[in-house]
Chain A
Amino acid sequence: MSDFNYWKPENLLDAVSLLANMEDQARPLAGGTDLLVKMKKGPINWKGIVNLKGLTELKGINYEGETITIGALTQISSLIENPLVSIHFPVLVDAARSLGTPQVRNLATIGGNLCNASPAADVALVLLMYEARLLIMGPSGSRKVPVQEFYVGPGQTVLQQGEILTTVEIDLPPLNSKGVFYKHGKRKSHEIALVNVAVLLTSQPETKQITRARIAVGSVASTQLRIKDAEDSLTDSLATLSAFEKAAKLAKEAVNPIDDVRSTASYRKQMVGILTRRALQEAWGGEL
């Protein structure tokens, strides 16, 4: 590992000013499960580490009215263990359980999963589906960005120099909503998704009417995608196999995957269609 300068600020404002003054020469350290691996592999083009682990105010899960707020430094394992998250956001727990290994989940943070901006990220995909909002603190104050507007490209976000993701906010989904998360890979654990899909359907069970749909897919474009066309095609339609097949086809057409060491573009595209249809059917749950 190359040498680096090191700071461990004790509060958020100090962390912001340290990062702002380093002009891209420093990286924030949260869980470390990606950053330390990168630093060991080297070479790195930054010279300092601003260790955020001392910012205890960025850790924890709170429930206020219709909104749950999760500190950016909250560990992935804490999402799994939190009863309120399990009750209100079960799909977030499914995604958290699929991330890495138990050892990694005890270190990795929700903020790190977002800020790494991996198109394959599991927890971040479900946050996109739930339309989470991200609170960001920077040298010129705070701002709030929807997850959907957070990514610029692989590994790139809208975060500016000195800005730190502090909090994730998620509103409770409407009543009669059911979500599903699928991670498709070669193994059941310890895997990076070849394709991952998260859907949330809100429906009126008596009339079979779908009132709202959210569909997010990962590992199939330079950033994770919401498939608005597919969502719109389902809104106010009846829950039928053909409606789900149509939405799945729109999802398949919307993605732009690549060939890489883990899979091929054509296989990924095909699986987006299949997994989206299956996820929608499972989220609906009833007869078709």
Chain B
Amino acid sequence: MKIPMSLQVNGEMYQVNVSIKKTLLDVLREDLALTGTKKGCDSGECGACTVLMDSKPVNSCLILAVDAVGKQISTIEGIGGIMELHPIQEALIAHGAIQCGYCTPGIVMTAKALLDSNPHPTETEVREGIAGNLCRCTGYVKVVEAIMDVSSR
């Protein structure tokens, strides 16, 4: 069953006609070609698919696209740009907090939501904040340092 829907992503309205069973993640990647949001486990475990829905981080693999109608969705494509990186992206690079990079878009989105609601978190708050973003290259220390660095600017 396909239904037409309007999605607001990074401030732009998109009209799509997609199967009711498609997740927000799959619509972002396959129908809107916004492939910055990654598909890791596809079951709400890894956080690679994290986007912001009305400013809150959520697993886009656990949301039917139809349930994103009427919500403001932010993805990594809406954060900074190649010529003008977001401070979180700059800090991740500066601290060498990127290895394979697959978890990075999710971490940027989660960190943004954390710092938007709590601009000066403690290290514990940062660790708890990114607990839903798994890095299998296992480099959390530098990620935490990078987020703390942004918060101290």
Contact = CB atoms under 8 A, between A and B. Distances in A.
Given A3-B21, A102-B129, A32 B57 contact: no
Interface in A5-46: 5-6, 8, 29, 31-33, 36-37, 39-41
Contact of B62 (A8, A36, A51): A36
A190 B128 CA distance: 10
A36 B131 contact: no
B121 interface: no
Interface stretch (B40-48, B83-91, B145-153): B40-48
B25 to A, nearest CB: 11
Contacts of A4: 20-21
A190 B43 contact: no
B132 A36 contact: no
A82 to B, nearest CB: 15
Contact of A100 (B42, B56, B132): B132
Contacts of B67: 32, 51, 53
Nearest to A53: B67
B89 to A, nearest CB: 20
Contacts of A31: 62
B66 A103 contact: no
A101 B1 CA distance: 32
B59 interface: yes
Contacts of A37: 43-44, 62
18 contacts: A2-B21, A4-B21, A6-B66, A29-B64, A36-B62, A37-B44, A77-B56, A97-B128, A101-B132, A103-B44, A103-B50, A103-B59, A104-B59, A104-B62, A106-B57, A107-B58, A107-B63, A189-B128
Interface of B: 1, 20-21, 23, 42-45, 47, 50, 53, 56-59, 61-64, 66-67, 110, 128-129, 131-132
Interface of A: 1-6, 8, 29, 31-33, 36-37, 39-41, 51, 53, 77, 97, 100-104, 106-107, 188-190
